[in-house]
């Protein structure tokens, strides 16, 4: 059995959506067991099925607006997030899913799970949906606001293995997010990273990729620093939501529009679902000794289910051990 820890108290709608997402995961995934960490009384209010689910009581939560996440983790070792992360370090669980504060989760993961020695920096790597129904790995989406080009290359190796073993891409292509496609574009960081990727014999580098191509990219992996990639991710999410609302408003105007809305309702719903981060479930934090998946703070039950499904798949595919082996071979 694959054992998944769930931080039941982190996020906007805790613990209701976490608990319901966990029960949905148990219903649909046969080879997992789930441990919910949080306020027992609050959890049992929603937990109607305890099959392969157990509850471990915690004390307090890490606030979403915490200004000093490292201190918060160190001073709240019995919080739901800290206990869930510690359970992976101790071997009680194989992976963690949390929709708690991002920086606190990253800090906690470093302290309580630990970083792989093969990785110089961790990275948040969500999957961005593409117009052809697939997905693109985006990194780093907020873990490192400032980073060295060689660390980006290190992260690209991890993404290469993830794309092969989890997404099933035989020969992953990687692109560098930039303001233009021509070599020499961008900041000094972008120029140095471009040269590193171009001269690497193990990565299939397609060059610079402009943000306008994010939903239809010429690659399977898009990489930049945490500030840039985070803006790209949130712009895509916001634009998708805005376009959906705009289309609905336009179709509501006039009798013909309303008739059109009636016939296109299913397609609009399909569009919304395709662009929803909830369908992916979360972003894996690359570079840790254990599997940690960051779900959106506003995740509902389906989003949490998909986060658990994603964490279980990563464990099932033994991604971390494969990454260790591949990176060791790559850097020799």
**Cα angle, residue 125 at apex, residues 159 and 269 outer, rounded to 5°:** 120
Is residue 137 a part of any domain in this protein? yes
Is residue 244 a part of any domain in this protein? yes
Measure the CA–CA gap between 216 and 27, rounded to whole angstroms. Answer: 34
Is residue 329 a part of any domain in this protein? no
Residues 5 and 36 in one domain: yes
Query: Mean pLDDT per segment of 10 residues, for the chain of length 332 residues?
Result: 96 94 97 97 96 95 79 90 96 96 91 88 88 88 88 91 89 96 93 95 94 93 94 83 70 60 54 53 88 90 93 92 76 56
- The torsion angles phi and psi of 6, rounded to 5 degrees, stand at -125, 125
Q: Where are the beta strands (DSSP E) in 162-294?
A: 173-177, 204-209, 221-223, 283-286, 291-294
Residues 155 and 261 in one domain: yes
Which structure tokens are listed for 292? 């940690």
| 42-100 pLDDT per residue, tens | 999 999 999 999 999 999 888 777 778 888 889 889 999 999 999 999 999 999 999 99
Contact 221, 137 (CB under 8 A): yes
Is residue 282 a part of any domain in this protein? no
Residues 113 and 129 in one domain: no
Q: Which domain holds residue 251?
A: 125-272
Measure the CA–CA gap between 4 and 13, rounded to whole angstroms. Answer: 20
Is residue 171 a part of any domain in this protein? yes
Is residue 279 a part of any domain in this protein? no
Is residue 67 a part of any domain in this protein? yes
Residues 130 and 252 in one domain: yes
β-pair type (123-125, 283-286):
antiparallel
Is residue 297 a part of any domain in this protein? yes
Which structure tokens are listed for 170? 């035989």
Residues 204 and 94 in one domain: no
Residues 34 and 75 in one domain: yes
> Would you call 17 helix, strand, or coil by DSSP?
helix
CATH number of the domain residue 178 falls in: 3.40.718.10
Residues 250 and 171 in one domain: yes
Residues 139 and 250 in one domain: yes
What pTM was computed for the model?
Answer: 0.85
- Domain count of the fold of the chain: 2
Residues 100 and 161 in one domain: no
Residues 114 and 134 in one domain: no
Residue 114 DSSP label = -
| 297-320 pLDDT per residue, tens | 888 999 999 999 999 999 999 989
Residues 251 and 298 in one domain: no
Residues 83 and 137 in one domain: no
Contact 60, 79 (CB under 8 A): yes
């Amino acid at each position: 059995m694959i054992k998944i820890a769930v931080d039941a108290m982190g996020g906007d709608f805790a613990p209701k959506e976490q608990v319901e997402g966990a029960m949905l995961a148990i219903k649909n995934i046969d080879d997992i067991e789930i441990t919910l960490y949080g306020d027992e009384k609050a959890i049992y209010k929603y937990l109607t099925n305890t099959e392969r689910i157990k509850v471990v009581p915690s004390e307090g939560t890490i606030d979403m607006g915490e200004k000093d996440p490292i201190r918060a983790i160190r001073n709240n070792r019995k919080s739901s997030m800290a206990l869930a992360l510690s359970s992976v370090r101790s071997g009680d669980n194989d992976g963690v899913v949390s929709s708690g504060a991002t920086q606190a989760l990253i800090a906690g993961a470093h302290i309580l799970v630990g970083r792989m020695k093969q990785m110089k920096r961790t990275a948040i790597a969500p999957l961005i949906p593409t117009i052809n129904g697939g997905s693109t790995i985006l990194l780093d989406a907020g873990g490192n606001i400032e980073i060295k080009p060689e660390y980006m290359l290190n992260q690209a190796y991890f993404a290469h293995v993830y794309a092969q073993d989890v997404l099933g891409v035989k020969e992953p292509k990687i692109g560098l997010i930039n303001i233009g496609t021509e070599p020499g574009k961008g900041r000094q960081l972008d120029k140095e990273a471009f040269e590193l990727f171009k001269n690497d014999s193990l990565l299939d580098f397609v060059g610079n990729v402009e943000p306008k191509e994010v939903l239809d990219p010429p690659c399977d992996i898009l990489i930049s620093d945490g500030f840039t990639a985070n803006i790209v991710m949130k712009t895509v999410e916001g634009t998708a939501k805005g376009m959906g609302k705009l289309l609905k408003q336009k179709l509501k105007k006039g009798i013909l529009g309303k008739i059109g809305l009636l016939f296109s309702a299913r397609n609009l719903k399909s569009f919304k679902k395709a662009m929803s981060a909830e369908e992916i479930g979360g972003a894996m934090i690359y570079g840790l000794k254990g599997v940690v998946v960051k779900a959106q703070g506003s995740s509902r039950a389906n989003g949490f289910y998909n986060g658990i499904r994603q964490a279980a798949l990563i464990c099932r595919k033994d991604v971390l051990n494969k990454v260790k082996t591949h990176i060791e071979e790559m850097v020799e």
